[in-house]
Amino acid sequence: MALPPHMRAIDMSKLQSSFTNDILCHPVARRPFRVEGRNKMFQELIDAGMVFVGGFNLENFYLGLAKVAGGVLTWPAHRRTEMLRSRWDNIFDALIDEHEREMARGDLQDMFTTGTDTTYLVLEFSMAELMLHQHALAKLQAEKCSANVDSYIVPAGTMVFNAWAIGRDPRMWAASHEFMSERFIDNMGDITGADFGGNDFQFLPFGSGRTICPGVNFALASIEIMLANLAYHFDWELPQGVHHIDMTEVFALTVRQKEMKLLLIPRPIGFILPNVE
């Protein structure tokens, strides 16, 4: 028997991924790709690329070993890279043929890869943390109508640094592994604390300097409008029989939850459950 609408859980991971993909499709192609099914292809390639690029790379750690026998140990990785590149090229060739020649393939790939994955993961983690910290959700809902590397050494030639670890350094953050949204807001409700614009090296979600993420304003607008609407229009509950959200993280190029689906039940604000007795 199908559950009544007010008891059905929504796959928030899928919803938020589709939302961020649609947001990017409009400036790129002036239409969403859901009708054509391209959104699924984009997400498959993004997921595959993030896992591959964020995984172990012999050339990054053991350059000498990677050159042994003409680089034979790196051939499997290179083949996977070429396969991914070929699939991206097929999609972008179709887009370019559809009057999008003014945009280079590299720009398209950067926009979809960095814009979709990172934004929807922030939304997913935000909703999961808010479910685990109901006081923070209540505070957000109460405010919904308002308008409101120091000691780190980075060796020369380093390609990637651990922003995750820097943002959880107990020397810089009290209760560094706890979700505490209030650490960024003072008693007057004003934004305070570390600036995420690249000037405070203890908190670098968008990077810093010349390599800072060019989509920072686009990402903030996308996240804020989605999160504000989810909190403004709905209360949220876990599905029946579910009492815990697994916040275990897995690492690729972006950090994501080990449990791939975040399932939640929305309750419109002011909605009264019907008497089923």
Higher local confidence (pLDDT), 232 or 42: 232
25 carries a ligand binding annotation: no
For residue 130, pLDDT over 60 is answered with yes
Task: Please write the tens of the pLDDT for every residue from 203-218.
Answer: 888 888 887 888 888 8
Task: Please write the tens of the pLDDT for every residue from 69-83.
Answer: 677 667 777 788 888
pLDDT score, position 153? 60
For residue 39, pLDDT over 50 is answered with yes
Task: Please write the tens of the pLDDT for every residue from 162-173.
Answer: 777 888 888 888
Higher local confidence (pLDDT), 2 or 251: 251
Task: Please write the tens of the pLDDT for every residue from 131-157.
Answer: 888 888 888 777 665 544 456 565 555
Higher local confidence (pLDDT), 218 or 63: 218
For residue 103, pLDDT over 80 is answered with no
pLDDT score, position 3? 62
Residue spans of the domains in the chain: they are 7-145+214-268
Contact assessment for residue 265 and residue 238, using Cβ atoms and an 8 Å cutoff:
yes
Q: Would you say the pTM of this structure is higher than 0.85?
A: no
Pairing of strands 249-251, 255-257: antiparallel
